[in-house]
Amino acid sequence: MDLAELGERIYRTAHLTGEFVLRSGVTTDRYFDKYAFEGDPVLLDAIAEAMAPLVPADIEVLAGLEMGGIPVVTALSRHTGLPCAFVRKKAKSYGTRRLAEGADITGRRVLVIEDVVTSGGQIVLSTAELRSLGADIREALCVIDREEGGPQSLAAANISLLSLLTTTTLTPTP
């Protein structure tokens, strides 16, 4: 499946219209229901396969952000052979008490994985915490960049955003 076909399939599966409040607090009339494409194993596998070539060559660990980045990072790990870490929004207060579970991130080149990026706020917060734990993070990779300031806010935190698709590339032409 080429990228245009993949984009069409994601659009048909996950695009919703209505009134939605995003994590950033912004209200929008269009929404990509990430769980619709993440819950479809065939579509998620095709997404991960298309994302694999976007992973920089020197990456040692893929780090998926809770919650939507977890299925994406797991599928992407299968296509790249790279180990993955699962990153919570907040370290749990019991058990291991870790922010990141799975692969060790300390002293390693880590690529943050997210599903949909609007402002990039959660990536900035999580990256700061992962860096404080010793991760070397320079990029984040997402399935969809909503083109609403994410790359700019990430650049201010020294993170480059790589994206498989954007709202523009997902929007069918009339």
Which domains are seen in the chain, by residue range? 3-169 (3.40.50.2020)
Measured from the Cβ of residue 105, the count of other Cβ atoms closer than 10 Å reads: 23
| Mean pLDDT of the 100-122 span | 96
Task: Count CA atoms closer than 13 A to 117's CA, side-chain side.
Answer: 30
Residue 145 annotated as binding?
no
Nearest Cα neighbor of 138 from 150, 123, 149 is 123
Residue 174: pLDDT band with limits 50, 70, 90: low
**Per-residue confidence band for 164, with pLDDT thresholds at 50, 70 and 90:** very high
Does 89 appear as a known binding residue?
yes
Residue 122 in marked binding region:
yes
User: Is residue 121 part of an annotated ligand binding site?
Assistant: yes
The answer to whether the annotation marks 29 as part of a ligand binding site is: no
- 128-167 burial, b at 16+ Cβ within 10 Å, e below that, comes to ebbbeeebbbebbbbbbbbebbbbebbeeeebebbbbbbb
pLDDT in tens, 19-73: 999 877 889 898 889 999 999 999 999 999 999 999 999 999 999 999 999 999 9
Residue 23, annotated as binding a ligand: yes
Give residue 79's pLDDT. 98
